[in-house]
Structure 1
């Protein structure tokens, strides 16, 4: 039995993203609408996801585009305010993802009692955000310094909008990531949010590290969830749950419900 069962309550878990709208300091932030509007929209999406039956949610600053690899204090503070105001209404296990800063994600997780975080913890990349380096040794030491050893770590090993600077295949990456870092899960992604995770790639990762939880991290939808969950231990889903399956839109509860009905059928 994996930690998905003990922490989230089921194997083949569906973790739904609750995408926060642009926050103070972000280029897209609407200061006229203000933070109360951001909170209201986050609440609407959270309710639609929960009412639709998802197993868990993960809050992220998805609309903080373009992303920083070391976020500003105002971003973490704003996310803490949003989640803090929603905590009394959250009915499922939840995690956080401060894009793309694992130290800030741990800080936020401790502030709001999150059960897991997803991040780029390891590797060096050429990316849309410039040359992107990480320091997993320091990050994990920070996790333990602040008392976050219980927070589950979801390692994204196929970063969106980035390629490894080193010439390593996915088998080597998966094997060394697990050996060196003991992640709680590996996330396998497509090119961008909403892009399908390659099933062949997913299969290679799962076969390479069969004792580690492997999640399909992007692009899982009603049409491919059977194929993806036949390989992966669970999935992280966002774009498919939005109106018309469009990234910029808000969550459509009916799409969530249809997807989760299919997942329950697959679980038997």
Structure 2
């Protein structure tokens, strides 16, 4: 990895091989599974619980996402962005580590939210055309990056998920080809390699092939990292995005378990030494 690349990672995350923890927000107004009887207070209370558990457990950064806005949209509605902005705004004084945002699956909305909340990074699907669970999934990276400049978000780091969950490229392309052309054409700050769904393991071979194809670009393991696999993944990857394994009993739908976070981060910190 070039020194300049390592420099920005250390500047943003405070360490090499950072662990970016997911703060999964509950279904919000407009989402099919929003609990109207409990309202926004319940969403905010659970977000605060998860944020504080992640911070006390020692993660390097946190990323807020509308993870329970299932089924996802590729053009997020205004009410979702507004609710996320309110939640992050109310939590802001309690956030002690770098943070990013992810409006699934809408890069323009993610950028808008980042600017509104002073987030340092976003993760999204910026490139490619896919057959997905959400229908035919198209992107326009050129328009997205131009929007980034128009709204003054040029300092927001862009994490490109190049193996989208629940989706596959419409043409048969190798991970090496995808990584190389994405880097050449779009200049991502990070490439993220995922499994099939949230919590599904990132394939180490796919991760290794992506990193080998673009050795000077940071590559993160994006899903399915566990305490028993993270050391092996970090031998290949330049960092990781972690969510499900931090939950109680390691189940996607549960709240964050501080003890599981600490055990995981103790392993990571020992590896980094």
1:252 paired to 2:260? no
Query: Which residue of 2 is the match for residue 127 of structure 1?
Result: 132
Secondary structure, aligned partner of 2:40: helix
Deviation by residue 1:85-119 (Cα, 9 ceiling, x = unmatched): 00000000000000000000000000000000000
Q: 5+ unaligned residues in a row in structure 2: which ranges?
A: none
1:36 positional shift:
1.0
1:162 positional shift:
0.2
1:205 paired to 2:242? no
Q: Once superposed, what is the RMSD of the aligned Cα atoms?
A: 0.5
1:16 positional shift:
0.1
**Counterpart pick for 1:77 among 58, 79, 82:** 82
Q: How does 1:207-222 map to 2 (within 5 A)?
A: 207-222=212-227
Q: How does 1:33-182 map to 2 (within 5 A)?
A: 33-182=38-187
Secondary structure, aligned partner of 1:117: strand
Deviation by residue 1:229-255 (Cα, 9 ceiling, x = unmatched): 000000000000000000000000000
| Alignment partners' CA distance in 2, 1:93 and 1:4 | 11
TM-score (norm 2): 0.98
**Counterpart pick for 1:223 among 212, 228, 238:** 228
Query: Which residue of 2 is the match for residue 189 of structure 1?
Result: 194
1:234 paired to 2:239? yes
TM-score (norm 1): 0.99
| Alignment partners' CA distance in 1, 2:272 and 2:232 | 13
4+ runs deviating over 3 angstroms: none
Aligned residues: 268
| Alignment partners' CA distance in 2, 1:49 and 1:160 | 24
Q: 5+ unaligned residues in a row in structure 1: which ranges?
A: none
